Structure 1
């Protein structure tokens, strides 16, 4: 009798364990499939600048693009390993890894505010609605998707104040793209009035120092490369004003981030999370800067803003009446039923065990 009950309990414990991980398993399968599809689209539906992938590996491409050296350097190092993969396959592997990690980080960010695993997983999968608007049917560069990942992870580490991990991330991310300076601005925006000023400005000074040292080193290494614009940016202000008169380009611009910025702008005052509301201010700064140095409808240049804007939208949805109750009920239905069965069996087993002991 004891053996039968033990086997039944073991089976139902395994069932409960599997059911409790259903959200994680479903998320993993969905994100893998969507990430593969997105990565294929990135390489087959984008314009790859002629000769750029190989020239970036060789360190001879035009600056400022060559300054974004992290992924080309990593691919170059991996080419020394006899994997049999071409450099384009390695570029694709980094893109795939970055988008997978991005969705995992976004799930963690959303869970940080919602506290519901099912809602966080479903909301994170919604990133695959937004990403194609900014990274498909545009130019392909290896720094694009990693820059979004680094920004999302940087925001998460800022929120958690995990400085031991934040600074290595900041260093790597600055080798990938100069836009890490917006992480520093984000720290200022979310911290003013909430932390000691001396501590805040020490962090800011250290990050600016790291940023300047890295950019100075890259400038020195690639000082003989061809130059686009001023070597750091091109003045696009007047060209962007002219582009606003073209309704097609204007429509593309307004559909930035898949249009999710519109509800965020309308209802941002309802955000209950000061961290998210303040972080959105840095997106305004980025938009103003890109109005001067970015091409109006080259959507990929707005990528670093996606994590903050998408997080704001997810938090706004979570705050809608009834959403938390529905998400909680669905999560309980998915993960809680087997737990109830296991509990009932364990209660039934106690008298049986007692009877067995008497026999």
Structure 2
């Protein structure tokens, strides 16, 4: 057992055990409901994705289907009759578990409270269930959704700890998984603006854009680019994929004219988290996170043009960033001290105050005393 002076409470072992137990149970529960209890898109069902016959653009998101195919072939070679959906369940459960752990680690890079970071990691269960399990319509399962959210959480952590090589690796893997990886480039540019020379940022952004184009072009050449047809919504009809970009925005607008009550449902994305974030975004206690939040409205605008805005799964990539900002606001309101790189806003650490929650959340007394004196907390080892 570590001593309290080492920066962790004496019960840290029990805390970790409870965290991992709850995270594993959640991952299994979530994957079961996400894979087995949601809809299937007839243009991109699991067999079609695995054998490469699904309609564009679904067939170009081939990383997870290729992995599932490899797992299925390996199981068949070993004489194990495993259903493809069972393998999809296993992959989804592992991705959900890794996502909860990655988000807890991300919060821990900002907030100097291990119990709070663990609790924040578990809190990510709420938006995941809200976006991928709870919807009773427009809720299809795709194998790339949760791994892509994991990629965004890992990308945010790489930016937080200045690991550019790791960020590029995450970007490449995410691009093989889904084309939304280009949003990671926007997070790089906005997050590191002012921290790196603009010439360097533009160079890294151009490198990622070139990689994105090369991977996308390679996927189209490899898997074929014939025109596909996508059913947008029951009762509306089918629209060719090549016309989807222009037509979907009008369909979204028409839907809310006919069903204005659904605007409340739209406001509920991120568990209604956009409402407090819009009111208090300038109070998020980290300049880098505040800058990256500029990407959120741009992302939402694009979803209006290329997706059905009541299909909550399309907002998944923004869950780690939005939830991180809300968690940091909560940590600030509780008076928890931030690590020096987490308090990059230029806001003096002395503004953070001690509250009755501090000992409950395992704040190191040395860190709290330094914060009260206006000193930055010591760097974590």
Task: Tell me the TM-score normalized by structure 1.
Answer: 0.84
SS in structure 2 at match of 1:158: helix
Q: CA deviation at 1:164?
A: 2.8
- In structure 2, the partner of 1:59 is 52
**What is the alpha-carbon root mean square deviation over aligned residues?**
2.3
- In structure 1, the partner of 2:14 is 22
Q: Structure 1 residue 211 and structure 2 residue 212: aligned?
A: yes
Distance in structure 1 (CA, Å) of the matches to 2:126 and 2:108 = 19
Q: Structure 1 residue 101 and structure 2 residue 60: aligned?
A: no
Unaligned runs of at least 5 residues, structure 1: 1-8, 10-15, 334-359
**Per-residue displacement from partner, 1:186-228 (whole Å, max 9, x unpaired)?**
1111122221122211211110111000000011112255513
Q: Structure 1 residue 74 and structure 2 residue 86: aligned?
A: no
**Per-residue displacement from partner, 1:321-355 (whole Å, max 9, x unpaired)?**
4456445412449xxxxxxxxxxxxxxxxxxxxxx
**C-alpha distance 330-321 of structure 1, shift in aligned 2 (>3 A):** closer
**Structure number having the greater helix percentage:** 1
Q: Structure 1 residue 133 and structure 2 residue 130: aligned?
A: yes
Q: Is the 8 A contact 2:111 2:336 kept in 1?
A: no
Question: Which of 219, 234, 241 does residue 230 from structure 1 map onto?
Answer: 241
Q: Is the 8 A contact 1:61 1:226 kept in 2?
A: no
- In structure 2, the partner of 1:338 is none
**C-alpha distance 77-326 of structure 1, shift in aligned 2 (>3 A):** farther
Q: Structure 1 residue 42 and structure 2 residue 54: aligned?
A: no
Q: CA deviation at 1:260?
A: 1.4
- In structure 1, the partner of 2:283 is 270
SS in structure 2 at match of 1:183: helix
Query: 1:1-359 counterparts in 2 under 5 A?
Result: 19-50=11-42, 52-81=45-74, 82=78, 83-136=80-133, 137=135, 138-228=139-229, 229-230=240-241, 233-235=244-246, 236-245=248-257, 246-322=259-335, 325-332=355-362
Q: Is the 8 A contact 1:102 1:149 kept in 2?
A: yes
Unaligned runs of at least 5 residues, structure 2: 2-7, 230-239, 338-354, 364-381
Q: CA deviation at 1:161?
A: 2.2
Distance in structure 2 (CA, Å) of the matches to 1:255 and 1:144 = 19
**C-alpha distance 140-326 of structure 1, shift in aligned 2 (>3 A):** farther
Question: What is the aligned length?
Answer: 320
Q: Which has the higher contact order (CA 8 A, sep 6+)?
A: 1
* Structure (1 or 2) with the larger CA radius of gyration: 1
**Per-residue displacement from partner, 1:45-104 (whole Å, max 9, x unpaired)?**
310224710011110100101111110000111112134321111111111111111111
**Per-residue displacement from partner, 1:6-61 (whole Å, max 9, x unpaired)?**
xxx9xxxxxx9983312211110111111211111112331022471001111010
Q: Is the 8 A contact 1:64 1:233 kept in 2?
A: no
Q: Is the 8 A contact 1:31 1:100 kept in 2?
A: yes
Task: Tell me the TM-score normalized by structure 2.
Answer: 0.79
